[in-house]
Structures are given as structure tokens and as C-alpha cells.
Amino acid sequence: MQEFEFEIVMGLEIHSELATKSKIFCGCTTEFGGEQNTHVCPVCLGLPGVLPVLNRQVVEYAMTAGLALNCTIAEFSKFDRKNYFYPDLPKAYQTSQYDLPIAEKGWVDITTSQGTKRIGITRVHMEEDAGKLVHGGGTLAGAGYSLADYNRTAVPLIEIVSEPDIRSVEEAIAYMEHVKAILEYTGVSDCKMEQGSLRCDANISLRPWGQKEFGVRSELKNMNSFKTLQKALEYEIERQAEILRDGGVVVQETRMWDDAKGVTISLRSKEEAHDYRYFPEPDLVPIIISREWVDRVRAALPELPEARHERLVAAYGLPSYDAGIITDSKAMADYFDAACRHYGIEPSPIADDDGYRQADQQGKDRAKQISNYMMGELTRLVKEDGKGFEDCPISPENLVGLLQLLEAGTISSKIAKTVFETMYATGKEAKVIVEEKGLVQISDEGAIAKIVAEIVDKNPNVVADYKAGKEKAVGFFVGQIMKATKGKANPGVVNQLLKAELDRR
Amino acid sequence: MSLTKAEVEHVAMLARLALTDDEVAMYTTQLNAILDYAQRLEALDTSAVAPTAHVFPLHNVFRDDVVRPSMEQAKIVANAPEEEDGFFRVPRIV
């Protein structure tokens, strides 16, 4: 945002459903969907007399996420009740963590067009998800009643709270993407935003440049896609800026993005909000985490996005930008590594001074080819289909098959594009498609020379143009030759033979 | 420590209790009596006592991440004040 007259101050609260099989305090499945109220039992419904018991895996995942976000894991942690009335919350309180969260004081480094920046993580805590309301009569406001489905109730969540370190919409998106990547890499969450597995709230305020105190903030609720996040933040920033420009005062309140209208709307003001009367959950005993337990979870952490980014740059010579895009998604990074393996790109057995095992130049060139195809055509096709790289119809092995045909000169790069599209549509191997459609590149000099001579014979006036110094004439001939060979002629051979033929005239 | 009438009204609002003026006055008196009694604890020297998070001397009570059958839908909604097609029918919100 250039020359914006206010400084933007934002913090995000990211909610992520954990990848456990069962709910946080009972054995009901966490599976998405299902017929209404069939993944429910007296414990998650909060019926009188039941006793919740904490799922150990929830603690393990929360610790994993905390450590991956560079947090300190608490030695002593407990649950509290957050009290409020809402029909998606059958107990009338949410079991959450208040003053003693499982992890605190972490950070992540994000990369934007402005460079790298550190965003602080205030805390990570465990809690339970709420149920789902279906509104009779269509719209929320027009409904006469609501229908409650508690299948999602008590699916385990972690909430990741950032410091108010975010200064632009671009930073907010980059932060969300980075946290998503970390959660995916660690396997803590499937991060399926369309299923609500990952969503966020934002605290936003503006202040005049140079002012130390924060402005009055609004809290934007429940943004569950990157597109929504961007649109909602941009709208809210402009809304507040307009109020301040007119000399008005921003009201502290909770607002919600209305996607259909493209505006944020007020849900409740400060007077009613945030009076949750937290108190310690008497049904759950405290959690004490030993040093050994923390060390065990830390040792099991996989390679994280930053480390992988550095490895792709060092080992394969990828530009940092390319490596950043590839490693932002675990599925994409896994695809890249698998393709490199299939291509036989072997990092040197001996590490360089920085401890990286580099591939040789041929390996780096091949890796760059893989990355180009992934970031260009493949990303375009996958995105058009609304898919991820994990569901890509072209396997890493088959992509390498195509690149090998290109490298061997069996097909031209132009033909490769066609083959690629067919591979994506059919899932077939490149070799099979090339054989079926007779797309093998013609490199036979005799055959090409014959076609070159024919075409040059047919166009004496263009030959005259060439003799008169018009370089464009060459382009015309190449086009005609490619047309005659359906794009299969080896361009290098064509250029060479054409030049010789023209010079002979 | 003394609870004001306004505080009692606020807590009643949060708890969705509709109190008459007489009831607010009565509960203000009663709640203050309870708080006064609890305040006797402040006479104790607790400087050497760690804050208590739970009354039982237990910690780390966990279950394994194993799925067990849920309750059948008909039983789940059997006690619902209003039910529709396996959903709990609740008053309109917002």
C-alpha cells in the first residue's frame, strides 16, 4: 500500500483443527461431515454427570506446533471454561486455555516483496471446536430459527495468537501461508480451509504514522480462505481510514465479513463482548510436561519449510523465489523432491562449507526444468481444477518422463506442451502419448532438407526479400516448415538447413 | 470488597437471568455476604503456598486417540426441546 496516511497494525488468531482420529475429550470421530448429530455422545454434548478425558495426541500435536513455531512449551498447563451462550455450544462454555497455555513466546519469519520479517507468536493453546448452525430460511438474518448439528463440537483445535506485528495485508497473507505450511509439514492439521480446518480472526487498528499508542481496534471474525482474508482486511482498513479521515472515532467491536455484500458488518459491541468469566475446568486435571517429553517431540519434528527452502536453493541452485513458492506447500515440495529423485538428480555425497550436498550442473539444470514446469503449466492446470499437487493427475515420475523426452530431443518443446496437456487430461505417460499420436521430433537431416527445399522453391519472392536483407523472411520460412511438419521438425536442424539452403540461392 | 447493584445486574445479564429490582437488591446483599465470608481467607499467610489449579493431586490423565462408537442420532435428539430431521431446532440468533 503506497503512501497510505495511516500505519496499519494487525494481529491474527489462527484456528486449526488437529488431525486426531477422535475428539478432544471423548471417542467420537473427528471425520468431516457425516449425517447431522451422528458423531455425538453425552460427553461432547455436555450432558450432566459425564467426565471428559483429554486425548493424549492433542497434547502431542499442540507441542509439535508450538515447537515448530519456535515457542517455549509450558511445564505446567491447564484447561479453563470460557462461558458464553450460543446455540452452537451445547455446554454453554467452551473448554479452552486461559492463563496457562501449552506454548508461548514464539516467532516465524515471513517473506514478502519487502523482504524477510519476523512476526511474534504470543501463544498457542488447546481448545474444542463448536458445532454448526444451519439457518432455516436461507440467510442468517432472515431465519426464523436455526438447526444445530454438533458433529464438529469438541473436534480439537489449537489457536495460534500472533503479536500485533503485522503491518500490511500482504504480510497478513504471507504469515497465514507460512503458518499453514508449518502445520502441514508437521502433519498437525490437514489445513483444509474449505472444510473449516484452518480459519482466522484478525484484530485491526490504524494510527497516524509516528504515534506510539495503538488506535481503537475491531476484531474481524472467521475468515476461511485467503481470498476472504484479503478482501475483508482491505475493506476493513479502508472503512476505518474513512472514519478517521472524517475526524471520527472507530468503535471497538466484533465484525464479520459478508462475502455476498462485500462488506464487514457489526456483530456485537465491546459492552457485550469478551466477558467470558473464565475459571479453571474442574473436570480436567493439569498437564505437566517434562523436559524429556519436550525433547522427544522436538527430535521427531520433520524438516520445516524454512530449512527445506534453504536446501532447495543450496542443493539444486533454485532461485530463492522459486524455492519459496514450492516450499510454501508441503504437497508441492514433496512433488518436487520426488521428481528430482526420479530424474536421478543426486546431490553430491560430500557436503559443502555450509553443510549442503549440492547437485552437479546437469542436476541443477534438470531441477530448474522441473521447477519451471511445476510453477508454470502445472500450477495453472491444478489451480483451474481447484486441486492441490497431492491430487495432480501427472505423477512426478511421469513429469520426469516428459522432460527426458525433451532432453533427448525426441520431442520439441512446442510438442512437449501438447503432450503435457494430454498427460494432464488422461494421466497417461508421455512416451505412450508421443507414440500414439506420432509426435516424435524429426531430426533426420535428409527428410528436413527435402521439406526446406520444397518450401523455399514455392516462395521465390520471400527469397528475394531475404536477399534484400529482410531478416523477417527467415521467420516466415521457419513457420512454414513447422506447419508442414506439424511442429515436429527439430528447430536447431531446421535453422541450420534453412540458412544453408537460402545462402545457396 | 463490595459488589454494586450495577455489577449484579451485569452478571445477571451475562447469565441471561431476568431479575426484578427487588431480586437485584436481595442478591446484592446475599452475594456480598458470601464474598465477605470468603474474604476471611485473606487473613491467612499464603506467601509460601503455590496457587492451586486443581483440588486433586493428579495430573496427566489421558486417553489414547481411539475412535469409539457415538450415540445413535435418535437418542441424541430424544431430549431436545425441539427437533427437526435429526437437528436440534434452536431459536434464531443474530
The CATH number of residue B1's host domain is 1.10.20.60
Q: Over chain A, what is the mean pLDDT?
A: 89
pLDDT beyond 90 at A54: yes
Q: Hey, is the C-beta of B74 within 8 angstroms of any chain A C-beta?
A: no
The confidence band for A141, taking pLDDT boundaries of 50, 70 and 90, is low
Amino acid A1: pLDDT: 45
The three cell numbers locating residue A433: 502419448
The domain segmentation of chain A, as residue ranges, is 11-201+280-296, 305-437, 445-504
Q: Which residues of A touch B91 (CB under 8 A)?
A: 87, 145-146
**Inter-chain CB proximity A56 and B55 less than 8 Å:** no
Instruction: Out of A39, A56, A148, name the one closest to residue B63 (CB).
Output: A56
Backbone φ and ψ for A95, nearest 5 degrees, come out as -80, 115
The confidence band for A273, taking pLDDT boundaries of 50, 70 and 90, is low
pLDDT beyond 80 at A3: no
pLDDT in tens, A296-323: 999 999 999 989 998 999 889 999 888 9
- Residues B3, B4, B7: CA angle, nearest 5 degrees: 90
- Judge contact between A331 and A390, C-beta under 8 A: yes
Q: Hey, is the C-beta of A143 within 8 angstroms of any chain B C-beta?
A: yes
The domain in which residue B19 lies consists of 1-43
The confidence band for A139, taking pLDDT boundaries of 50, 70 and 90, is low
Helix-then-strand count for chain B, H and E: 3, 3
Q: Classify residue B87: in a domain, yes or no.
A: no
Q: Hey, is the C-beta of B17 within 8 angstroms of any chain A C-beta?
A: no
Q: Which residues of B touch A134 (CB under 8 A)?
A: 87
Q: Hey, is the C-beta of A449 within 8 angstroms of any chain B C-beta?
A: no
**Inter-chain CB proximity B64 and A53 less than 8 Å:** no
pLDDT in tens, A99-124: 999 999 999 998 888 888 999 999 99
Nearest residue in chain B measured CA to CA from A58: B65
Nearest residue in chain A measured CA to CA from B58: A285
**Inter-chain CB proximity B54 and A282 less than 8 Å:** yes
Place of cell 513429469: A399
**Inter-chain CB proximity B65 and A100 less than 8 Å:** no
pLDDT in tens, A240-265: 999 999 999 998 888 998 888 888 88
- Sign of the CA dihedral running A99, A102, A105, A106: negative
CA distance A17 to A189: 6
Interfacial A residues in 234-293 facing B (CB < 8 Å): 267, 275, 277, 280, 282, 284-288
How is domain A445-504 classified at the CATH fold level? Answer: Arc Repressor Mutant, subunit A (1.10.10)
**Inter-chain CB proximity B89 and A267 less than 8 Å:** no
- Residues B15, B20, B22: CA angle, nearest 5 degrees: 120
Q: Classify residue B76: in a domain, yes or no.
A: no
Instruction: Out of A27, A38, A147, name the one closest to residue B67 (CB).
Output: A27
SS3 A300: coil
Nearest residue in chain B measured CA to CA from A80: B53
CA distance A309 to A328: 9
| A50, HSE (Cβ side, Cα atoms, 13 Å) | 13
Mean pLDDT computed over A262-286: 82
Q: Classify residue B71: in a domain, yes or no.
A: no
Nearest of A441, A447, A321, A440 to residue A375 by alpha carbon: A321
Q: Which residues of B touch A254 (CB under 8 A)?
A: none
CA distance A57 to A412: 52
Q: Hey, is the C-beta of A294 within 8 angstroms of any chain B C-beta?
A: no
Q: State the smallest CA–CA distance between residue A417 and chain B in angstroms.
A: 48
**Inter-chain CB proximity A148 and B68 less than 8 Å:** no
**Who contacts A328 (Cβ-Cβ below 8 Å, separation ≥6)?**
A177, A178, A181, A305
**Inter-chain CB proximity B92 and A146 less than 8 Å:** yes
**Inter-chain CB proximity A146 and B68 less than 8 Å:** no
**A205-214, A288-297, A483-492 — most confident range:** A288-297
CA distance A168 to A221: 18
CA distance A388 to A385: 9
How many domains does one find in chain B?
A: 1
- Judge contact between B71 and B86, C-beta under 8 A: no
- Judge contact between A357 and A347, C-beta under 8 A: yes
Q: Classify residue B81: in a domain, yes or no.
A: no
Q: Classify residue B54: in a domain, yes or no.
A: no
Burial of A17 (0-12, 13-18, 19+ CB in 10 A): buried
Q: Classify residue B19: in a domain, yes or no.
A: yes
The three cell numbers locating residue B7: 455489577
- Judge contact between A202 and A210, C-beta under 8 A: no
Helix (H) or strand (E) holding B9: helix B5-14
pLDDT beyond 90 at A456: no
- Judge contact between A267 and A256, C-beta under 8 A: yes
Instruction: Out of A54, A56, A144, name the one closest to residue B92 (CB).
Output: A144
pLDDT < 50 positions in chain B? none
Q: State the smallest CA–CA distance between residue B10 and chain A in angstroms.
A: 10
A31 CB neighbour count, 10 Å cutoff: 13
Interfacial A residues in 14-43 facing B (CB < 8 Å): 20-22, 26-29, 35-42
Give strand pairing partners of A324: none
Looking at chain A, how many residues does it have? 505
Q: Hey, is the C-beta of B92 within 8 angstroms of any chain A C-beta?
A: yes
Q: Which residues of B touch A46 (CB under 8 A)?
A: none
Q: Hey, is the C-beta of A59 within 8 angstroms of any chain B C-beta?
A: yes
Nearest of B11, B34, B35 to residue B23 by alpha carbon: B11
CA distance A456 to A51: 89
Q: State the smallest CA–CA distance between residue A189 and chain B in angstroms.
A: 15
Mean pLDDT computed over A471-500: 83
